[in-house]
Structure 1
């Protein structure tokens, strides 16, 4: 790899990291505004125009609050927990293709940090590591409520990762690839006439795997600990769950990790099932490749923000499950549905080939 390529990759990493943090920061603002809208309130409106500076005020508050470490906590692990949570949240975006390649002079810029041929497995590996941050933090707090929250998080993630993995197997039968870039390219919208299923909207994997997508998005809610699957935090039962004993920026890391995970999950769903940076009639606009790539990035972020809005909509609409309902849904409903989806997809793919 040449020096220019290394510099370009480094700049791309910094940009993706910065965007992840900014989206997470303003997701807190959006969550409060959406909650206010659903509850017929105003929401944040004091810090800056329309309350737009509220996330900055919240961040300053987190940094300036007193740092408290319980006397009986495991000191090193108490710090490792939130650090691991935010680290795994940030590295999940490394394999997501944000757009087509840009050409500036003689330099070709690939809008993807790295394109590995097992990108989906990488995502699953990062998701699996993320729960360790919660488990370590809950155990190191030496608090029974934190420990119960950590145990819930571990069992919940294990349960729903199985269903999520099975839903992806059915998608792999259709795409034949583990690379997110290849999966995105297969959904390229090339329709310029003819039958609807020959291109356009119908190249998106959602139309080929609707049941797989429904299973995946339910599991994404569980994996990100979002309502109605936020049992590890469950304030009415566990005070605050795994981060009960945390304060200052350590608590901020846990909260930020949740919103970054929501952002990355939305990007993965948009890429796997809704064409990623592709959009209908993109080849018939008559624009240069660079402009198509830029519009593609905007389209991808529009899809991501739509998913983030859906995450927030569900939070303020559906009440939290009981823990037994959570487990029954994962083991007795989603796993059988995912297995049935694999069988049906396998039969259809075999017949078509």
Structure 2
């Protein structure tokens, strides 16, 4: 089988295809013919060697993938040959409280940038019937993070999303499915129509309006947003504190910007809001989300699709930051 391995982090020239022997399928495991994989910004950080939670050299990249089961090992009851399956972001978090040690791809496990994968059947979920493999491959990290970030949103609430990355676009779709009103920020007026088509009710160009909390307040009658899906980290958190409604929740899901204004602790305190760090979610959470995706016939937004042999171009596309939706690599 063909496998990509990254032998020297920080040097994309060492991410190369090689031929490897197909592993044996053991007890409790399945063999997956991988059909598609998607990239997350985490994959760029890992490739650069900057991931803070540990990285293994000479690994197979990517945590998110989908494919079809070709063989099952003894003891497997969850799946059969021919089933369409997708990865879970944490292979050993099945539900309940997050494990003390969360196993991750590109650390404890080789990832999905390969033609075939032998993996525990417990680390997989069923693909929603209406989705293609390309669409399903976008769900395990970005979609589940967005789902967890808007969990508890009620009809009539206002949800604020930042930017047009994968998590933010999924958050728009899920918030609308939950009956919420959505305000979205973007750096370009050219994306207004796309965000409106996705369901956004209010739009803010954060380059033209750097103090965008004022626009959020204006669009909410001075109240602020009930929920904010905060992806910018240091670059945006101070504005999010100013934008949140009293008693609302800021779901902190990323840190795309490393520099920004210091947080005013008194503003944070008087907001009386919850500031919750989101760590993707469990297999049970993913399965709940997939039921909602199926019920509402939600289709992921895909920016671009690259061939398996052109995987480096997919990395370049995502690293450019000029994307609208997910970047996918298919067979």
Q: What TM-score do you get using the length of structure 1 for normalisation?
A: 0.23
Is the helix fraction higher in 1 or 2?
Answer: 1
Q: What TM-score do you get using the length of structure 2 for normalisation?
A: 0.24
The structure with more radius of gyration: 1
Is the strand fraction higher in 1 or 2?
Answer: 2
